[in-house]
Amino acid sequence: MTVTLLLVAIVILLCVLAEKFSGKFGMPALILFMFIGMLFGSDGILKIPFDNYRLAEDICSIALLFIMFYGGFNLKWQAAKSVAVKSILLSTIGVAVTAVVTALFVRLFLGYTWMESFLVGAVLGSTDAASVFAILRMKKLNLRDGSASLLEMESGSNDPMAYMLTFIAIEMICAGKAEHILQQIILQLAFGTFIGAAFAFLTIRLLRETSLISEGLDTIFMVAMLLICYALSQLSGGNAYLSVYIMGILIGNSPIKNKATLIPFFDGVTTLAQILIFFLLGLLTFPHQMPAIIPSALIITAILTLIARPAAVFLLLKPFRCSARQCLLVSWAGLRGASSSVFAIMAVASGIVMPHNLFHIVFMVSLFSVAVQGTLLPNVASKLNMLDDNADVRKTFNDYQEDSAITLMRMFIPKGHNYENRLVREVNFPTGSLALMIKRNHETIITKGDTRILANDTIILSVPAYEPSDSEQLIETRIGSDNNWCNHCISELSLAPDELIAMIIRGEETLIPDGKTVILENDVVVTYRE
């Protein structure tokens, strides 16, 4: 037992170090987690024999549910809602199209049976949330046209569809027929959606409106509710991954207590889950079998990357008038990873035998995908001119916080103001603030205690940043031409009783609005909501 604990600790430590130094190696850390697993595996240095697919399926399924939940929990709906329809189409119809097109070409080029080909397509149909999130955040890819939110929401929500297609393929191969498949699909979607929404509603009510949860136990309570949601969805025949994803979105975008504590907790748990999955994937592999599998894996990778994924993306995004550049970027960003490998483990654990071990094929495809597509994604985005210097990919996540603990405030001094003709040291500025400079005509004056304030001066103050409580929200909304607020003054808007427009950012100008202020296209409106 002691030796086992020591090995587990060493593995985790090595993976943490791999995360730290992955940038220096020029590859995503997830690949290094795989290689560490391979070093510990049957063909590695320690030669730990591990080929228990049933146990691996159980462990990876639990790890994947935390990844799915946090993918929803950390998705900022305010940023993602503008691309929600496109994301949902990609995560449902797009997965099905990718699976079918992949199956057709696998059958054509590799000679697998139709059902084996469909199983390969189903398992590889979804993009991997862990891989996509890791690349976007580590490389700080600030993308144009809402592409970051599109990729985050799609990759976070397409596993349920891939799971359902994999389930269908396994049932048809094992049973030899598709009896009651349509009924099972409907049950999966209906129960998965209902249970996820119900548990989200119950969790939010308990956290916001009761004192049943003791202070400091929020994280334990949330884990318990998440596990119950997953288990009940499984027992009822629902799509458990759909349930936990919906639960995550609804809770993560609700004003609940101690969200500032829950986000770093689940971020850490999800990181550990990613380490666990990718390490297990490496541990399960037998590298001496890889040379025979590499040609097939390369062909499938090429089919996915160059044919199936682009076909699905262009088919679904072009009707929305998305540019060819955006479609190409979204196609290239369709990384395969942990989820595909977990579904492959499920198929192998079900007793399905193929000419080449399905898990090893999917492992190699995922390895090629993360290594090649993931590593080249920043270059592809740059070549396609899809990088946006004015965007910040971090703002598309709920865990985003401004780096600075202070903010700057501009104060105009009109003629007759009680600050006029007074020295800086004689003025009682707001508590905690400091006068940094004065803008006078076209001159900038660095203030000192004996600096005199004149009429028409603009004083620049540094003030402590306000940290809203868990029940408060500051929401930024960029106003498009189709927004209902565009070209209307604030007094004409139907705002909720607990909603206030606190600030408008117009170009380089920051406005403190009143009822007569007209909201224009491209304004960024900062709304306070309790």
Nearest-angstrom CA–CA distance, 8 and 14:
10
Q: Note whether 174 and 123 are within 8 A (CB).
A: no
Nearest-angstrom CA–CA distance, 380 and 303:
19
Tell me the CA end-to-end span of the chain in Å, nearest whole number: 51
Q: CATH topology of 52-396 equal to that of 472-530?
A: no
Q: Note whether 33 and 274 are within 8 A (CB).
A: yes
Nearest-angstrom CA–CA distance, 41 and 46:
7
Neighbours of 480 (CB within 10 A): 12
Location of structure tokens 């403190």: 512
Location of structure tokens 């730290």: 20
Helices (H) and strands (E) in the chain, counts: 20, 10
pTM metric for this prediction: 0.71
Kindly tell me the sign of the dihedral angle through the C-alpha atoms of 361, 33, 70, 57.
positive
**CB-based contacts of 39, cutoff 8 Å, min separation 6:** 45, 46, 282
Interaxial angle between packed helices 358-368 and 338-349, expressed in degrees from 0 to 180 and rounded to the nearest 10? 180
Tell me which CATH code domain 406-464 carries.
Answer: 3.30.70.1450
Provide the token pair at 239: 């799509």
Q: Note whether 129 and 71 are within 8 A (CB).
A: yes
* Closest-CA residue to 64 (of 341, 409, 356, 286): 341
The CATH superfamily assigned to 472-530 is: Regulator of K+ conductance, C-terminal domain (3.30.70.1450)
Provide the token pair at 478: 């960029």
Query: pLDDT by residue for the chain (530 residues), tens digit each?
Result: 676 677 767 777 776 676 666 555 545 666 777 778 888 877 777 777 778 888 888 888 898 899 889 888 888 777 677 888 998 899 999 999 999 999 999 999 998 889 999 999 999 998 887 777 777 777 677 788 878 888 888 887 888 888 889 988 888 888 765 566 777 778 888 999 999 999 999 999 888 877 777 777 888 899 999 999 999 999 998 889 889 999 999 998 887 777 777 888 888 888 888 888 888 888 888 888 888 888 999 999 999 999 999 999 999 999 998 899 999 999 998 888 778 888 999 888 888 887 677 888 988 898 888 888 888 888 888 899 888 766 666 555 555 444 444 577 788 888 888 888 999 888 887 777 788 888 898 888 888 888 999 988 988 888 776 555 545 666 778 888 878 888 888 888 888 777 788 888 887 677 777 788 888 888 888 887 76
Give the residue extent of every domain in the chain: 52-396, 406-464, 472-530
Q: Note whether 500 and 530 are within 8 A (CB).
A: no
Class of the domain covering 52-396: mainly alpha
